[in-house]
Amino acid sequence: VLRYLGYNFGSRPPAVATGSTDANAGVIRGIPAISVGRSGGGDQHTLSEWADIESARIGTKQIILLTAALAEVAGGI
């Protein structure tokens, strides 16, 4: 997805900070899950939380492309 959008990181994408997600509830029960964040920002879950709008646009495109790719693999397209 990132290469399709024109990103070129060389051999590996950059490492990012990780955290807990709602996907954990399924994973601990053996249900495969994909957790995707769609934007940069800061101060999550506080009154001063903010999001970077441009990264949200790019993240939304990535999610749409990922969904389309998974649908194609599953025979849905």
Closest CA to 64 of 51, 77, 52: 77
Could you give the percent of the chain with pLDDT greater than 90?
Answer: 8
pLDDT in tens, 30-55: 988 877 777 788 898 899 999 999 88
SS3 of 13-28: the string is: CCCCCCCCCCCHHHHC
Q: Is the pLDDT of residue 2 over 90?
A: no
Average pLDDT over the chain reads 78
Least confident among 4-13, 22-31, 61-70: 4-13
